[in-house]
Every structure is written in structure tokens, then in C-alpha cells.
Amino acid sequence: MAGTPVCAAEEAAERQAQELADAQARAAAKAAAGGSSYVDQDAPFKANTLANSRMPGPLKDNPRTVTAITQEVLETTGTTSVRELARSTPGISLGFGEGGNSFGDNIYIRGFKANNDTYTDGIRSPGTGVAETFNTEQVEVTKGPAGTVGGRGTTGGAIDLISKSPQDVDFTKTVTTVTDATTLRQTIDTNKVISDRLQLRFNGMLQDGEVAGRDEITDDRRGAALALKFAATDALTLEGNLSYTKIEQTPDWGCPTSTTKTWAWSVRSRNTASTGILSTGYGAAISRLSKRRWPRPRQTMPLTTA
């Protein structure tokens, strides 16, 4: 019956339907280009799966407590480091030099030190540093004892940074960020499909940064990352990535001390008290005067000056 007018019309309709489906698939892939493959495309703030192969299946069915911060969340909130995640993620806190370790990301998970429990694509980070997120597709925070997931010594939990992987569609995205603290940040994310079996992805970052509310404190960063994906056979796919990050920051030791002349006084009477400090020298003068009611004493308090 092939070739008859009836069959020819049906075949043409099937071809048109297939072409329409292919066009819709290409449009959907183009719209999702540069996005994460672990999220719900209709709700990119919500992660559906994890990159960790030891915890397969949907995230909602995972018996462990895992917080997944998606790429969309990182970009929307302007998060550029794991240190910033510690300020907004439940269960994670940021240390400030306890124990004499004031360098790098001093992370605590559920109260336990997790400096040695930071991973990149499932590989433990070799040292303590500042983790940048310009090449991060998802951050997975496993909470609670996780020796089977993160290895020996993972008491409070583990943090795994998932790098961006090549995709099967060409795209280029650039983002320029300017803040009122005179920070300028430029990122680029480009993907190139060489063939059906080979894809490349490059991410770059350049930041000339200042710190809001602080003088002479800088946060300059440089970064580049290259990822490759090669399908050797239908059953074997090889992936590799190379990343370079350089961060130059000025240590912020807080308010500097200076030699000043200070006068202090304290006057107390029966019902009131006033204290004050007046300093002169380098910087602005500081003056403070406070008064409050004191409880009525059982006996008369003498007037004292100091």
C-alpha cells in the first residue's frame, strides 16, 4: 500500500509531526542551555537529583538529610563562595579563627569542624582555601555522620561542589556584576559541540573587588575552567575537567588601635549615675554619655568622682 495517495498523506503527516517534535526538543534544549541537569526545569530553584553516585534516585526519596543549592540559587543570590553559603544555609556555620586557624573557609556542619570535608566532584580538596563558585553547577551539603558518603572522619557532614559539565547544545552566556562597593565582576560560560561524541565547555571569571563598609580591603579573583566530555562508545563516556583559581584578598583585622589620650569619669549620686569616655588623638573623637535610674539604696550613697 506504500506509495498510494492515502499512505502518502499519512507518511507526510508523520514526518511533519516528527519534525515538529524535533524542533520542540531543540527549542527546549536551547532554552535550558547553561542550566543545571539536576533541577526541575519548571522550578530551577528545586533540585530533583544529586550528582553523588552513592545517593542515587530522586532527592525527595533520599533517607539522608541533604541540602542541594542549585546553580540558579547561586546566580540569583549572587553567591560567589562557600563562605557566603555558610551564612544562609541551615546547619552550617562559619568559624572566625578558633583554634588558631583563620585562613580559608573555616566551615562547621552541625557544630563539627568540616575543613577537611569539602569535596569537588566527589574528590576531597587537598587543602583549606576559599572555594569559588563560578564553575559550580550545584552544591550538595550532606548533614550528619557520612562516612559511607564522604569517607573516614566525616562527623558533622560534607560539602560537595559539583563542577559544570559539557552539554549537547552550543551557547554562550556572559554576566557583568557591578556593586556599590566598587566591585566589578565578569563571568563567561560557553559550550561548544564538536561532534555527536565530543563536547567542550569553558568558564572564566575576573573580579576586581572591594569590601563594602571597609577601606583598603580588596578581594581580587581570577579563574578559568575547561571541561571535556567524550563518548568513546555507547557504554563508555569519558569526562575530564581542569580548573585554575587565584584569589588575592587583604586580611581584615578589624578596627586598628591607636595611641590616644583618654579621659574617663564616673559620677554616681543617690538616684542617678553617669559615665563617659572622651578620646582625642588619631581619628575622630569619641564621646559617650549615658544616664539611667538606679534603685533606691538602703543607705545614702556618697558622691564620688574618678
**Domains in the chain, ordered, with CATH?**
54-163 (2.170.130.10), 171-249 (no CATH), 260-293 (no CATH)
Q: Residues near 130 by Cβ (< 8 Å), separated by ≥ 6?
A: 81, 82, 83, 104, 105, 247, 249
Closest by Cα among 205, 201, 202, 200 to 175: 205
**Helix (H) and strand (E) counts in the chain:** 4, 18
Rounded CA-CA distance 114/108 in Å is 5
Rounded CA-CA distance 101/24 in Å is 54
Burial label, 65 (beta-carbon count in 10 A; 0-12, 13-18, 19+) = middle
Cell triple for 81: 563562595
Instruction: Specify whether the CB–CB gap between 157 and 142 falls below 8 A.
Output: yes
Q: Residues near 206 by Cβ (< 8 Å), separated by ≥ 6?
A: 185, 186, 187, 221, 222, 223
pLDDT tens track of the chain, all 306 residues?
Answer: 555 555 677 777 777 777 766 665 655 555 556 678 888 888 888 888 898 888 888 888 888 888 899 999 998 888 888 888 888 888 888 877 666 666 677 788 888 888 788 888 888 887 777 888 999 999 999 888 877 777 776 788 889 999 999 998 999 999 999 988 888 999 999 999 999 899 999 999 999 988 887 877 888 999 999 999 999 888 899 999 999 999 888 876 666 555 555 454 444 545 544 444 444 444 333 334 344 444 444 444 444 444
